[in-house]
Amino acid sequence: MKTMRTPLKKVRYLGSAKEGTDHFWKQRVTAVANVFLGLFLVWLIASLIGADYGTVRQKLAHPLIALALLALILSATIHMRLGMQTIIEDYVHAEGPKLAALMLNTFFAIFIALSSVFAVLKLSFGA
């Protein structure tokens, strides 16, 4: 059976990385989760308009509120990293800068997630 690959592609063994569907589904699932968690965040902010500092701290310290905020942080940062990864892979063509940008993208997402999780946990545990 004749293949559709060019001789250079056969030599370099370039082809599908078999990760396209995984990336696609992660991006879609996090997008749907972000819709619901974003609506929750809007409701939370609207319910706290005009509240004093103590009330806000008390509300954010509730375990269900904290868990929902942590889920939003996780979902949003994963979605952000996947979206930027797609943009970097599509528009940065040189391998060195592409690798550097992908690494910086991952480190940035981790930094944002850890900082945000720390803030929610600090509020939740009353520190």
What is the pTM assigned to this prediction? 0.82
pLDDT tens digits for 48-63? 999 999 999 999 999 9
Q: 37-43 — which CB contacts under 8 Å span 24+ positions?
A: 37/68, 37/71, 37/72, 37/75, 37/76, 38/72, 40/68, 40/72, 41/69, 41/72
pLDDT tens digits for 72-125? 999 999 999 999 999 999 999 999 999 999 999 999 999 999 999 999 999 998
- Evaluate the CA torsion angle 52, 56, 57, 59 in order and state its sign: positive
